[in-house]
Amino acid sequence: MKKPGQANISQEEENLILENIDKFIDRDIRPNVSDLEHKDIYPTEIVEKMKQLGLFGATISSEYGGLGLPITTYSKIVERISAAWMSVSGIINSHLIMAAAVERHGTKEQKDYYLPKFASGEIRGGIALTEPDCGTDLQAIRTVAKKQGNSSYIINGSKMWITNSQEGHVVALLVKTDPDAKPRHKGMSLFIAEKGNGFKVSRKLEKLGYKGIDSCELVFDNYQIDANKLIGGEEGKGLQQVLGGLELGRINVAARGVGIAQATLDESVAYSQTRKTFGKAICEHQAIQLKLADMATRAEAARLLTERAAQAFATGQRADMEAGMAKLFATEAAVDNALDAMRIHGGYGYSKEYPIERMYRDAPLLLIGEGTNEIQRIIIARQLIERNPA
């Protein structure tokens, strides 16, 4: 069986899917984004429409009720949604990384029970990795699961910046089952943790951008979980189970970067033809033309790198270098284009009347989400050496 994101569909099928996504965006997202984003309101009605479209099962195999889309198609969906409102793409991204961990590594019982519910959106969630004192260095986590007999574990610890944790129902929870293990990753395990006694969403975290979507701190206080919720049924495999999903996540973040880079370009091209200074449209001024040219080049290069990463992922081979390159370039392109768009729009770019200020606030998250861009550079360099030994 192919892994999530590795299916094949025809060009005609992809075009039909993307056409329906565009209709959904124009009908349900664009008319509501300004009000929901500025009030930081969770887009409940949009989520319901996403469930109807099957987006919570986008990369889940059709065997379990998902759409079984290839990552190449999924990344184009994310690009389109992010161009309208980046937060909406985050609601499905974290959920699908969690689903991928279960589909790739779960037991038959875990797959049969959870994946159909994940695909329908009946059960939604995300991944709980980051902690207050641990960001990129996941092996430094302190949340611990202690086994109680053969049937359950008791978990204590906390997690930070967890997407879908307030409005969702479950998380893929990374813990230490053996804090003394050497190397450290051999003591890490991944659980399917449903909300219940001892699992507390302690607070919703306020953010500069990325509004509307819930990012929360979680506290686990003597949280009891059945042993059959250990993904794969074997301790010590958690980090490896997570890392494969992060490739998917980084391609998603790259696609978000493409979406913002393209949207800020489109807004700037349109505005520059209507705004006039010194008797002519500002698009006729060389200073503006230079910015538009750079913005267009960045957006297109980011798209091509993201498509290349998606194609590499779809082969089933290791794609962390390709995903890292795409994530690095596309997210930097988003930030650079957002700043140039604000300069082109002048005072209006700083106003809530135009979408540029929202994109300008959203874009920086991409530089640090799913692994900072500094880490991506290290991954790329290490893979270059590993793939090209002297």
Write out the catalytic residue numbers. Answer: 370
- Strand intervals (E) in the chain: 125-128, 144-148, 152-163, 170-176, 188-194, 199-204, 215-226, 276-277, 280-281
Helix (H, G, I), strand (E, B) or coil at 135: coil
CA dist 228 → 157, 221, 234 (Å): 20, 20, 10
| Nearest to 178, CA basis, from 130, 132, 239, 128 | 239
Question: How far, CA to CA in Å, does 365 sit from each of 60, 211, 384?
Answer: 26, 11, 27
Q: With the C-alpha atoms ordered 362, 363, 366, 372, is the resulting torsion angle positive or negative?
A: negative
Distance CA 352, CA 174 (A): 39
Apex CA 325: angle with CA 319 and CA 327, to 5°? Answer: 95
Residue 352 three-state SS: coil
> Which of 351-373 are b and which e, b meaning 16 or more Cβ less than 10 Å from the residue's Cβ?
eeebbbbbbbbbbbbbbbbbbbb
- Rounded to 5 degrees, what are φ and ψ at 134? -150, 115
190 and 173 in contact (C-beta within 8 Å)?
A: yes
Q: CA 105 to CA 107: how far, in whole Å?
A: 7
Strands 170-176 and 152-163: unpaired
Q: Which of 308, 187, 185 lies closest to 240 in space, CA to CA?
A: 185
Q: Please name every residue paired with 277 in a beta bridge, in sequence order, or none if there are none.
A: 280
d(CA 378, CA 390): 19
Length of the chain: 390
Kindly state the tokens that stand for 235: 């301790």
